[in-house]
Structure 1
Amino acid sequence: MTWANVAEGSGFGPANLPYGVFAPAGGAARVGVRIGDEVLDLAAALGDTVFARPTLNDFMARGRDFWRETRARIVELLTDATRADHTLLYPVGEVTLLLPIAVGDYVDFYASEAHATNLGRMFRPDSAALLPNWKHLPVGYHGRAGTIVVSGTPVTRPLGQRKAPTDAEPVFGPSVRLDIEAEVGFVVGTPGTRIGSDDFAEHVFGVCLVNDWSARDIQAWEYVPLGPFLGKSFATSISPWIVPLEALTEARVPTPPQEPRPLPYLRGAEPWGLDLTLTVHLNGHTVSHPPYAEMYWSPAQMLAHTTVNGATVRTGDFYASGTISGAAPDQRGSFIEMTWNGTEPLTLPDGTRRTFLQDGDTVTIDGWAPGPNGERISFGEVTGEIRPAPEF
């Protein structure tokens, strides 16, 4: 129980307590925790100037013991009726939610077997759907940290080169196959290198929702031989709330069976699969329910692979799961899969049809995980509206 106003089924009760950065009207940006439909001002509530800063980075850098201590203090404050102080709370609708972290490096993975298989079947119909390395290591690429934006930031349609199979030469212009990728992201709190799978929780602070916007036509022309570039680097949206790993104890599940058995550096004593359910909405209509529990590679294995060669992760580094797709058609996390590369258009309840995104479209992804005593742990949402490409 809490003295704060938390509606039943809110998903933002004391079992969750996700962190974010907010600015009250006329005030400076600072760190807060969401409780119900309000934000607890941590600098005022706990009296520590580390929370009076415009990102979570300094707080995260203090390490796991301090994260645990802080969470315990917040729970104690919010559940002790004698310490009730509503002046510490700001309505979510009356503050500005900001990008919660200063992002260092950004890596995006490709960890869904269903997603990788679907794309393999589309583009390599006469070959094996999965490439030979896929079940031996978490495939990923280095993205552009500077274009990670907070939910609600408009997404401008990107420009670039594209070449359809029927084109004699490449052309330049706005992407005509703009897509989403429903993903989950992981925020590094403390630095490290050669991090073993069992040390994941010592370094990763928390989890958020991600939409890695993708220009499929630009990507298709540019990605050979070095991988994604302009088709991926124009915008990646993240939710404003970072759910701490401690809130996800009830959500931990084994990964799907991994055959062949991973090499030793990718094995861990405890599983780090997560039972997270996402929902994708296009212009207010639900179009998909991607299940994170079906992801082949765990976030612990992704981090172990990222650092095994000696690469160092730093406070604020960020990595994402790659598109989350399940085995069923209504569990696909991208429009290229939902419409099978544009050959099977979606018909929405209002009668409109889509293959890829049009200007003015709004995509919202929300998500939740199981919590204690049947509660839900909400991740909030990540949303973005497509704006027309600029004149060039």
Structure 2
Amino acid sequence: MSPSELEQRTWHAFHLAARWRKGISTPRRTLFIQGTSNKSVSDVRFIPGHSGTLILTTSKRIWDVFEIWDISSPSEPRMACEWSPRGATFNGIALNMDETSEATLAVSVLQNNGEHTVQLLSLEIDLLGGASLRTICAIMSELKPTRLHDNRLAISDDVGRTEVWDWRVRKSAVLQEPAHQNGDWRPNRSIEVVFAHQSILVVRASSICLFADPELHAVPETSTPIAQHSFGWIDGVSVSSTSAALSFLVRSESDDPWASTAHSLDLYTLLRSTENGGHPGYVFPPHLDMRIPAVRGALRCRTVVLGHCGTAVWIQPRERAIVGLAEGDAVVAAGGRESLVVAALPGAFTQLEGGRTAWNNRIYSNHWNSWTALDYDEEMGRVVLCSSFAGVLVLEL
């Protein structure tokens, strides 16, 4: 990074931190990617290592397509490249958290001939700014990518199996969660995998399991959890790590039409183990630090994102009302719109005036209630949202 770039990033970080401390009430700037308006966009991600200027979208044509959009120009975003194996569908992706790695992302690809692979793609940018995606590794598996950090890849099923790979040397290990004992038939989908201190944490829809960091072999060995916990059935969770703890922002199931309107997002902390009697890595169970009141309602996008500095974003559903129960009518939506919420939770930006320790604000509403995915770049202060029929929107905080 050049001295001028370093100076620019420092000033940006200073002003962004000042806005968080004051309490963000509206985006500073909004940018609509016009080229996505006529496409069915199902997922959207910032690509790490590009200062929040490269965005990956997944859209549906005859088959699934990746497109990378460059938003570095303030006037007109441009499509840098696209990638799709002919006739294939995608079933889960993971972006590499190590921006220096050759592998940019991992994607589960189902070919029309029934072949199922996890492919690792490298984003290559030439001297003229042209871009392309190239497959550098393929693993025969039906599991979905859930975490990618440099050469370590985690892929998971929707029951209880996670495989950890070193994709460069083709060695792996199996992390196996015990089967449910209560006969619950619902899939226990994998939401997030964290390569944590001396351990690996697998977060699913109804459980979190801590595994000792395994040795990888050409013929994989199977490990079972050294600690387990459940938040109940959840819609979404985001895990943020520091040197001393893991923080969890949890959205419990929210779209049961017969449930109480009372709802919340919960912040938990899992402390690092400092005693020999603790589990290797962390001490269970997680501790509830904060309960954030929320609205119960159906959402297409149930994602929550918690940053390392304690800032967070999520979608709040529009409020609902129960009417006509005497005639057996169902729950109907009340007035209002779903909204993007930004929050400063216990962390770097919550030492605020008046003893306030946290805040959250609705900063942008969606008239169509149609958001399908979001991503958040905490460092650059940018949120990207997509709708299945209304394209991609970028908000600068």
Query: After TM superposition, is the score higher than 0.5?
Result: no
Structure with greater proportional helix content: 1
TM-score range, shorter chain: under 0.3
The higher-RCO structure (CA 8 Å, 6+ apart) is 1
After TM superposition, the score normalised by the length of structure 2 is 0.28
Structure with greater proportional strand content: 2
